Amino acid sequence: MPLIVLDASVIIAQLDSTDAHHAAAADLLEAAADESWGASAVTLAEVLVGPARRGEGDRIQGLLTRWGVETIAVPADAPLRLAVLRSRTALKLPDCFVLLAAEQAGGAIATFDDRLAEAALALGLEVRTP
């Protein structure tokens, strides 16, 4: 089974019980409970902005670690690869980091972002959505 690369939308929804996608995130992650999860270092930084602002960054980072979310490092050749992904997809750079992480890990992407899902499918990546 491939590594499931989590988009920020899925992680944020799972962390916030008031998020409109919370139930869907819980279902998505429960369905993938037997698989490995990962996220780009940039995605994790994006997720941690709000908690850091509230003084909860360490707690949320610890929670992500307990969930088993692996940090997928940004490779040395990322600048050109990201530029190519951005030029091909017209996605914002944070979304391109998700694509790059999935390409690196040979994994599927879990997201609630329709544009990211479409771009991932066009690149031949597996997508997990609710």
Of the pLDDT bands very low, low, confident and very high (cuts 50, 70, 90), residue 13 is: very high
Which DSSP helix (H) or strand (E) runs through 69? strand 69-72
At 35-68, the pLDDT tens digits run 999 999 999 999 999 999 999 999 999 999 999 9
| 71 DSSP β-pair partners | 39
Look up the CATH number of the domain holding residue 16: 3.40.50.1010
At residue 2, the pLDDT reads 74
Compute the average pLDDT of residues 14-41.
Answer: 95
At residue 29, the pLDDT reads 94
Given a contact cutoff of 8 angstroms between Cβ atoms, the answer to whether 28 and 128 are in contact is yes
Stated pTM of the model: 0.93
Q: Which alpha helices (DSSP H) does the chain contain, by range?
A: 8-15, 22-31, 41-53, 57-67, 78-89, 93-105, 114-122
**How many residues make up the chain in this entry?**
130
CA distance 94 to 14: 19
At residue 96, the pLDDT reads 98
At 66-115, the pLDDT tens digits run 999 999 999 999 999 999 999 999 999 999 999 999 999 999 999 999 99
**How many domains does the chain contain in total?**
1
At residue 45, the pLDDT reads 97
Please, what sign has the CA dihedral across residues 38, 17, 23, 117? negative
Of the pLDDT bands very low, low, confident and very high (cuts 50, 70, 90), residue 127 is: very high
Direct distance between the N- and C-terminal alpha carbons of the chain, in angstroms, rounded to an integer: 18
Range of the domain at 15: 4-128
CA distance 93 to 109: 16
